[in-house]
């Protein structure tokens, strides 16, 4: 990332990663906006995800990143390198002819680094190389260390990105203020009819984080049997259609009328609308959970494999996460416990799982399991003090 000292020039956030990371960038974007209200602020993100962020007030200009076009250019290089370079130059100039004064490159990916160099108005002090530590900010180095060593980190990724951007978290969860998008006719009743609506994130981008369909079937059966007006919405991409079909087929016929399969049938905008209509969104895939929190829904995560609550738990106040004790595939699932929890908000422990609830404070989001919250508070304070002493002092003051 690179940072020029100008406080009024145009700034650019670069976030080329997937949906979960993009949503988790919002606290940093909003904090920077709050700190520098007069600085024009642009966001470069994947073209496929851009529509969901079109209404974000903190962003002046949303620049869709066209990865497919870059792939075409890479293929075209061998035929005509001259024309390829010219096309790339034209594309970059269209993004920002003058270059940016300040660039916030959140993910330490090679493409982000390269774009930071290409779009910066000033010489960039960070490395353009893959996997290089050279030029990384203290926060970036800290995150890299967390990824490599795991350890007892309690600073949420979204808040660490605030630190990387030189701002402290606002202590509020970001909200996406998009307009409702019209749903397919047969799905339009979702959330509109009376009932206890719960959206289930059927699959996950990382196959290791997918819940087996039979677990979802058990969850649905238990929930719909227990809650008379319960309604379940299955969400997911086209890749999850098969799993959703298996879940539906295994669900007792009498309950099937209360299960809505939307997998593979929604655009990103429609997905946001769906999530916003369901008071609870439950799943193992962090991306949709983050999206849900940004449309004011409550999120409950089943975190296992490599997912870790303290780093990527749902951002905001009052979300819940069941974290599996080890990185292996769970052999039992908190089905009745999670159902009980969303019904009455009472903590229910499940064997093999720890249970965490999210809160917001001056250093952003944190999760507590009901035991000794002070100790964890200290760990976060220590990190902020070490990596952003100025910000830490200002908070203390």
Partner 1 sequence: MNHFTENVMRLATRYPDLAASLKAARGQVLTIESARNGSPSARRDGRWIHSAYDPLRDAETWADSHAPACQAGETIVIAGIGLLYHVEALRKKLLPDIAVAVLISDMDEFHDALSARLLGPWSDQILWFSGTPQDIAQTLTATGRPLRCLSYAPASQSEAEFHSDFEQALRRGIARQVGGQLTIALVGPIYGGSLPIAGYVKRALENLGHKVQWIDHSVHARSYDIMGTLNDTRNRQLMQSRMAEVLSQWTLATLAESPPDLVLSLAQAPLTSPVLEHLRKKKFVTAMWFVENYRHLTYWQQMAPGYEFWFVFQQGQCLEAFRQAGARNVSYLPMAADPDVHGPITLADEDRRHYGSDVSFVGAGYANRRRCFPLLLRQPWSFKLWGNEWEGADELQSVLQLNGARIDTATCMKVFNATTINLNLHSTTGAGLDPQADFVNPRTFELAACGAFQLVDHRSLLSEFFTPQEIVSFRSFDEVPGQVKHWLADPSARQAMAAAAQARVMSAHTYVHRMKDLLAQIGLSQPDRIGAVLRGNRRVEALRSRCAADLPLESLLKECPAGRRIELKDLAAQIRSKGPSATLKREELMVLMLDEYRSETRDLV
CB of 82 to partner 1, least distance (A): 5
**Chosen residue from 54, 85, 325, 396 binding partner 1 by CB under 8 A:** 85
CB of 135 to partner 1, least distance (A): 7
- Examine residue 78 and tell whether it contacts partner 1 (CB under 8 A): yes
User: Taking the mean position of all CA atoms in its chain, how far away is CA 136?
Assistant: 23
User: Taking the mean position of all CA atoms in its chain, how far away is CA 311?
Assistant: 11
d(CA 346, CA 374): 22
User: Taking the mean position of all CA atoms in its chain, how far away is CA 275?
Assistant: 14
CB of 122 to partner 1, least distance (A): 12
d(CA 276, CA 69): 33
CB of 123 to partner 1, least distance (A): 7
- Examine residue 79 and tell whether it contacts partner 1 (CB under 8 A): yes
- Examine residue 206 and tell whether it contacts partner 1 (CB under 8 A): no
CB of 80 to partner 1, least distance (A): 8
Q: Which residue in 80, 49, 82, 77 sits closest to 63, CA to CA?
A: 49
Q: How far is CA 297 from CA 33, 144, 293, 338, in A?
A: 24, 31, 5, 16
User: Which residues within the stretch 92-111 sit at the binding site for partner 1 (CB under 8 A)?
Assistant: 92, 110-111
Q: Which is nearer to partner 1, 4 or 218 (CB)?
A: 4
**Chosen residue from 46, 64, 77, 336 binding partner 1 by CB under 8 A:** 77
Q: Which is nearer to partner 1, 54 or 208 (CB)?
A: 208
- Examine residue 82 and tell whether it contacts partner 1 (CB under 8 A): yes
d(CA 146, CA 149): 5
Q: Which is nearer to partner 1, 110 or 215 (CB)?
A: 110
Q: How far is CA 109 from CA 123, 130, 317, 391, in A?
A: 19, 7, 30, 26
- Examine residue 81 and tell whether it contacts partner 1 (CB under 8 A): yes
Q: How many CA atoms lie within 13 A of 201 on its CB side?
A: 27
**Chosen residue from 47, 48, 88, 227 binding partner 1 by CB under 8 A:** 88
CB of 121 to partner 1, least distance (A): 12
CB of 86 to partner 1, least distance (A): 8
Q: Which is nearer to partner 1, 93 or 332 (CB)?
A: 93
With contacts defined by CB under 8 A, how many residues of the chain interact with partner 1?
30
CB of 331 to partner 1, least distance (A): 28
DSSP-assigned states of every residue in 186-241: GGTTTTTSSSEEEEEE---SSGGGPPPHHHHHHHHHHHHHH-TTEEEEEE--GGGH
- 256: helix, strand or coil: helix
**Chosen residue from 8, 57, 71, 347 binding partner 1 by CB under 8 A:** 71
d(CA 290, CA 365): 13
Q: Which is nearer to partner 1, 113 or 156 (CB)?
A: 113
User: Which residues within the stretch 111-140 sit at the binding site for partner 1 (CB under 8 A)?
Assistant: 111, 114-115, 117-118, 123, 127-130, 132, 134-135
- The CA dihedral of 369, 375, 376, 379, to the nearest 10 degrees, is -170
Q: Is 124 left (phi over 0), alpha (psi -120 to 50) or beta?
A: beta
Enumerate binding residues for partner 1 (CB under 8 A): 67, 70-71, 73-75, 77-79, 81-82, 84-85, 88-89, 92, 110-111, 114-115, 117-118, 123, 127-130, 132, 134-135
């Amino acid at each position: 990332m690179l940072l020029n000292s100008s406080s009024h020039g145009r700034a650019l956030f670069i976030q080329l990663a997937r949906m979960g990371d993009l949503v988790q960038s919002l606290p940093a974007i909003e904090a920077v906006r709050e700190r520098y209200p007069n600085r024009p602020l642009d966001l470069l993100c994947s073209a496929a995800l851009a529509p969901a962020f079109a209404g974000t007030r903190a962003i002046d200009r949303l620049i869709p990143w066209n990865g497919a076009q870059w792939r075409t250019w890479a293929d075209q290089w061998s035929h005509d390198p001259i024309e390829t370079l010219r096309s790339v130059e034209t594309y970059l100039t269209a993004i920002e002819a003058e270059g940016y004064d300040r660039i916030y490159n959140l993910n330490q990916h090679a493409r982000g680094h390269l774009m930071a160099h290409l779009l910066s108005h000033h010489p960039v002090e960070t490395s353009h190389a893959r996997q290089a530590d050279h030029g990384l900010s203290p926060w970036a180095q800290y995150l890299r260390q967390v990824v490599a060593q795991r350890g007892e980190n309690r600073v949420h990724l979204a808040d660490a990105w605030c630190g990387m951007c030189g701002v402290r978290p606002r202590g509020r969860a970001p909200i996406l203020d998009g307009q409702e998008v019209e749903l397919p006719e047969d799905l339009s009743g979702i959330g509109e009819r009376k009932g206890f609506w719960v959206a289930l994130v059927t699959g996950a981008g990382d196959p290791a984080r997918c819940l087996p369909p039979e677990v979802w079937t058990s969850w649905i059966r238990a929930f719909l049997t227990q809650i008379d007006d319960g309604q379940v919405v299955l969400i997911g991409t086209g890749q999850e259609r098969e799993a959703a079909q298996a879940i539906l087929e295994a669900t007792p016929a009498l309950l099937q009328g209360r299960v809505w399969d939307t997998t593979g049938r929604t655009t990103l905008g429609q997905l946001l609308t769906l999530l916003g209509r369901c008071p609870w969104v439950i799943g193992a895939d962090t991306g949709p959970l983050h999206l849900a929190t940004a449309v004011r829904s409550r999120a409950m995560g089943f975190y296992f494999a490599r997912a870790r609550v303290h780093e990527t738990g749902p951002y905001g106040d009052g979300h819940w996460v069941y974290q599996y004790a080890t990185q292996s595939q769970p052999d039992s699932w908190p089905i009745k416990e999670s159902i009980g929890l969303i019904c009455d908000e009472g903590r229910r422990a499940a064997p093999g799982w720890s249970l965490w609830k999210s809160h917001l404070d001056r250093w952003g989001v944190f999760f507590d399991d009901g035991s000794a919250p002070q100790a964890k508070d200290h760990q976060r304070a220590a990190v902020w003090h070490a990596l952003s002493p100025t910000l830490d002092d200002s908070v203390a003051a």
